[in-house]
Amino acid sequence: MHFRKVTTRILTIRNFKQLNSKINNTRRISSLSSYNFSKIQSKYVPYPSQTPNSTPQNYYSTIVNEDLVDSNTFEKVCEETLNSLAEYFDELVATEPKLEKADVIYGAGVLNIDLGIHGTYVINRQSPNRQIWLSSPTSGPKRFDYVVKEGCWIYKHDGQHLHKLLENEFENILGRKLNISENCLHSI
Q: Where does a domain end: 47, 62, 79?
A: 47
The model's pTM is 0.64
In a domain, 61, yes or no: no
Q: CA 76, 79, 84, 85 torsion: positive or negative? A: positive
Question: Where does 82-129 show beta strands of DSSP type E?
Answer: 103-107, 110-114, 120-126
Angle in degrees, 0-180, between the axes of helices 162-174 and 71-95, rounded to the nearest 10: 10
pLDDT in tens, the chain (188 residues): 444 444 434 444 444 445 444 444 334 444 444 444 444 444 444 444 444 555 554 443 444 454 557 899 999 999 999 999 999 999 999 999 999 899 999 999 999 999 999 999 999 999 999 999 999 999 999 999 999 888 999 999 999 999 999 999 999 999 999 999 888 888 87
Asked if residue 173 and residue 92 are part of one domain, the reply reads: yes
Asked if residue 99 and residue 15 are part of one domain, the reply reads: no
User: Residue 106's domain is classified under what CATH number?
Assistant: 3.30.920.10
Task: Quote the domain boundaries for residue 113.
Answer: 71-183
Q: What separation in angstroms does the CA of 167 have from each of 125, 137, 138, 158?
A: 19, 14, 12, 17
